[in-house]
Structure 1
Amino acid sequence: MSMCKTTVAPSADGSLNLTSTFLRKNQCETRAMQLQPTERPGRYNYHSPHWGSIHSMSVVETNYDEYAVLYTQGIQGPHQDFRMASLYSRTKTLKDKLKEDFAAFCKSQGFTEDSIVFLPEPADKCINEPE
């Protein structure tokens, strides 16, 4: 596992297109999802084609210029709860304070210390190519 490159772009219908590119089996792979806004600002739903379920994604915190913290929850498979906290940054290097605050948020959501991971930067073209 290593960092991926993710872009978020608004759609004409008010949804957001979230596209991630990452290295998998020595190939750049891209996955896209369309986030549908809910009645609550900063909260989106998306359909997981793999699991056939709806996941809820919330923007927990952002300063728009530097980072965003997202929290996702849903069901994967028969009766398997899915929860994930993600830290998206506009740079590959994170400030220590940001990492500490993110880890504290994760712990407040019940994640254990060993489940909080900061992915290394890959030495591959998938995220290092200019747009």
Structure 2
Amino acid sequence: MRTTVVAVVMVMLCVMMVDADTKPQREFSLQRFAGTWYRVGLAYDSERFVPFRDKLKVSQGLVTALPNGNVNLTMWDATPLGCQKKTYHYEKTNVAGQFTYFSTRHNMVKDITVVDTNYSEYAVVLKHKVYNREYTQVALYGRTQTVRIDVINKFKAFALSQGFPREAILTPPPAENCPAARSG
């Protein structure tokens, strides 16, 4: 019975998400979205990323809402070189839940859409850019380093609906000590 319910929910999600213009979370609230998030899932099909898939760990991020509606995102990633910190500045658009940012790494503007969130537990975020071809990345964020299996299944169903192959959808293991725990 439970398998049937999960299958029905996944099919419904796929049907709802077929729209090429993915819509942001309805009535998105940046104030509720701000705070600490962990990237606990990632769907990314870039060939250059394939060698790194098995090295990926959960990343931690801090979303800071700015008074003008823009966002600063600080991310900590566990890498072979240690814990790396990066800061991104997202510009608001006239659609709540959608942002743009200039990627210095790729020297281009990328679109960010918060597709689905319940604010207290999970968020599904879509990153999109066009560079020689369209690139899309879907990330699952949690307020903790682990999320419920039905949330992971929801994320996977959305990623599949966006055309990602199963092998490009990852749920990495937790990172330890990144960022380093602060002593009080």
Deviations 1:80-110 (A, max 9, x none): 4321000010011110100111000001110
Structure 2 unaligned runs (5+)? Answer: 1-55
Question: 2:180 aligned with 1:125, yes or no?
Answer: no
Secondary structure, counterpart of 1:125 in structure 2: coil
Q: Which residue of the partner structure matches residue 63 of structure 2?
A: 8
| Displacement after TM superposition at 1:129 (Å) | 2.0
Task: Give me the whole-angstrom Cα distance separating, in 2, the residues matched to 1:2 and 1:19.
Answer: 16
The structure with the largest alpha-carbon Rg is 2
Q: Which residue of the partner structure matches residue 94 of structure 1?
A: 147
Q: 1:46-65, aligned counterparts within 5 Å? A: 46-65=101-120
Q: Which residue of the partner structure matches residue 86 of structure 2?
A: 31
Structure showing greater relative contact order (alpha-carbon pairs closer than 8 Å, 6 or more residues apart): 2
* Amino acid in the other structure paired with 2:99: Y
Q: Which residue of the partner structure matches residue 44 of structure 1?
A: 99
Task: Give me the whole-angstrom Cα distance separating, in 2, the residues matched to 1:5 and 1:128.
Answer: 11
Task: Give me the whole-angstrom Cα distance separating, in 1, the residues matched to 2:79 and 2:133.
Answer: 25
Task: Give me the whole-angstrom Cα distance separating, in 2, the residues matched to 1:7 and 1:71.
Answer: 17
128 and 40 in structure 1: CA distance in 2 versus 1, 3 angstrom threshold: same
Secondary structure, counterpart of 1:126 in structure 2: coil
Q: Which moved more, 1:35-44 or 1:18-27?
A: 18-27
Task: Give me the whole-angstrom Cα distance separating, in 1, the residues matched to 2:93 and 2:75.
Answer: 22
Secondary structure, counterpart of 1:19 in structure 2: strand
Task: Give me the whole-angstrom Cα distance separating, in 1, the residues matched to 2:77 and 2:142.
Answer: 15
Task: Give me the whole-angstrom Cα distance separating, in 2, the residues matched to 1:126 and 1:39.
Answer: 34
| Displacement after TM superposition at 1:47 (Å) | 0.4
Deviations 1:50-79 (A, max 9, x none): 111110000100000111110010034xx1
Q: Which residue of the partner structure matches residue 112 of structure 1?
A: 165
Q: How many residues align?
A: 128
Q: Which has the higher strand share?
A: 1
| Displacement after TM superposition at 1:128 (Å) | 6.1
| Displacement after TM superposition at 1:127 (Å) | 4.1
TM-score, length-scaled by structure 1: 0.91
Superposed CA RMSD in Å reads: 1.6
TM-score, length-scaled by structure 2: 0.66
Identity across matched positions, percent: 27
Q: Which residue of the partner structure matches residue 156 of structure 2?
A: 103
